[in-house]
Amino acid sequence: MVSALLATVLLASLVLFKFVVPSDPDESVRAEDSQPATLVSDADLVSRSVPDGNPSPPPSVVSSTDPTRHYVLFLAGIDSWSIPGEPIYGLFGYVRDRLSRDLQVSRFVYFSYKAAAVHNAGRDYCEGWVDGCSSSEPATVRFAGPVYSVEETHLSIDDQVMALDWMLTQIVKADAGAQIDVVGYSLGGIVAARWAALRGSESALSDRIQSIILLESPVGGIPLANLIEGPVCTRFNFCQPLKKFAEGKYGGVVLRQLQVPSDDRSRSESIVPSLSQAGLLFKVTSIQSTADYLVSGTPLEFCLDASCISRGSFTAGSGSQGWPATSQTLHYEYLGGDTAPIRAEDLLSLMEPATQRLMTNHGLPLFDPSFRVQTATWIAEAVSGGVANTPSVP
């Protein structure tokens, strides 16, 4: 029992959601700088979004008939980074090419995690992009080149939500007829869903958002975060190095916000219950691989001996499977990856091979040539408004 617990704690510090890739600049928007509105509280969500206990249906999608007014906003995941000459475009390159070819979309913009960091330091959000403060630049330039570090992806999700709200405001100020599709990968999808939940029903931006697409986003929470932030890793010395590692790698505040509510402590810190409200306010499409343990909700098995007769397991994370069926279009299929139990020798060698496999499974829907075509097709359908609001699986 102790060995299984120790193994689980060890896995916890290395398995949390991330996938690091470089990318490349593109087009963006110009506008005047302004401060975003204040976030509403979690407590107000249910009474506002479900007035009589019956959720309101998502608004109908307004198709973008004019490609010059159509924007696609991409948000990368935790531990991503973007610098001049090596921005995050590579992460979304294939999807972008498909949208350009099939839908003639030409206005692609990219979220910067630095925007929240500089604002917290008392400076302007616009400093998160190479040309972000050039308000005289055209819409196809201003938010093309995000510049941020890995560490800046570890800030509070609510700080990132305010930065996203500011960015969306700038796009709409520059182009009052803008129609925006928001595509978030991993943590990026969580930021988008949190923005939708907290700002969606009262923001003047709401009718400008055509759809929100969650790609491999653990919006159902990260149970392993409960372990890292809970009493086991707080009270016992053997777990302290792992807690320090995990918080340094992913940010303690992000881990606490993505706990699955299970007790008073986690309920007071977690933002997970609010995220499903996004689907009640916007057209949401969620794309999840059954082989991605960070969103599948399927327990990941690991061997406790060389013959793998004795095994343990834990649930790494879950996506939007628990959301109301009418609140989203859910594509939940196998999109590549190894699902065999983690070998005991990998577990005992700080699990680099096991970690690599898990992170690979997390990114295959975007990168594997055998599966990225399907991923891009689903995104294109959502962007074009061609998907019925019916989940693909029960």
What are the Cα distances from residue 308, in Å, to 120, 188, 299, 302, 342? 49, 36, 16, 8, 9
Query: Residue with structure tokens 């979309």?
Result: 105
The whole-number pLDDT of residue 353 equals 62
pLDDT of residue 46: 39
pLDDT higher than 50, residue 54: no
Handedness of CA 368, 296, 74, 355 (dihedral sign): negative
Identify the band that residue 36 occupies on the pLDDT scale cut at 50, 70 and 90. Answer: low
Give the model's confidence band at 31: pLDDT under 50 very low, under 70 low, under 90 confident, else very high: very low
Share of the chain above pLDDT 90, in %: 47
pLDDT number for residue 335: 94
Does this model's pTM top 0.85? My answer is no
Question: Given pLDDT bands bounded at 50, 70 and 90, which one contains residue 47?
Answer: very low
Instruction: Tell me the per-residue pLDDT of 83-130, one tens digit each, with 9 for 90 and over.
Output: 876 667 678 999 999 999 999 999 999 999 999 999 999 999 999 999
CB-based contact 194:188 (threshold 8 Å)? no
Contact indicator for 61, 283 with CB cutoff of 8 Å: yes
Question: Taking residues 142-148, what's their average pLDDT?
Answer: 91
Please give the pLDDT value at position 115: 97
pLDDT of 182-200, one tens digit each?
999 999 999 999 999 998 8
Are 191 and 258 in contact by the 8 Å Cβ rule? The answer is: no
pLDDT of residue 89: 66
Given a contact cutoff of 8 angstroms between Cβ atoms, the answer to whether 280 and 50 are in contact is: yes
Binned at pLDDT 50, 70 and 90, residue 135 comes out as confident
- pLDDT at position 253 is 94
How much is the pLDDT for 193? 98
Q: Between 245 and 386, name the one with better pLDDT.
A: 245
pLDDT score for 96: 93
Q: What is the mean pLDDT of the segment spanning 240-250? A: 74
Structural domains in the chain, CATH included, are 2-384 (3.40.50.1820)
Mean of pLDDT values over 18-36: 39
Longest dimension (CA), the chain: 66
**Cβ(87)–Cβ(25) under 8 Å?**
yes
* pLDDT at residue 151 in the model: 94
Query: Hey, which bits of the chain come out as E strands?
Result: 70-75, 107-110, 179-185, 209-215, 284-289, 300-303, 311-314, 329-333
Percentage of the chain lying above the pLDDT 70 cut: 76
Higher pLDDT, 236 or 107: 107
Q: What is the pLDDT of residue 251?
A: 84
Q: What is the layout of strands, in order, in the sheet containing 179-185?
A: 107-110, 70-75, 179-185, 209-215, 284-289, 329-333
Mean per-residue pLDDT of the chain: 80
Predicted local distance difference test score (pLDDT) of residue 138:
64
338, containing H or E segment? none
Which residue in the block uniquely carries the two structure tokens 């918080």?
247
Asked if residue 379 lies in contact with residue 95, where contact means CB atoms within 8 angstroms, the answer is yes
Q: What is the pLDDT of residues 253-281, one digit of tens each?
A: 999 999 999 999 989 999 999 999 999 99
The larger pLDDT score, comparing residue 112 to residue 62, is at 112
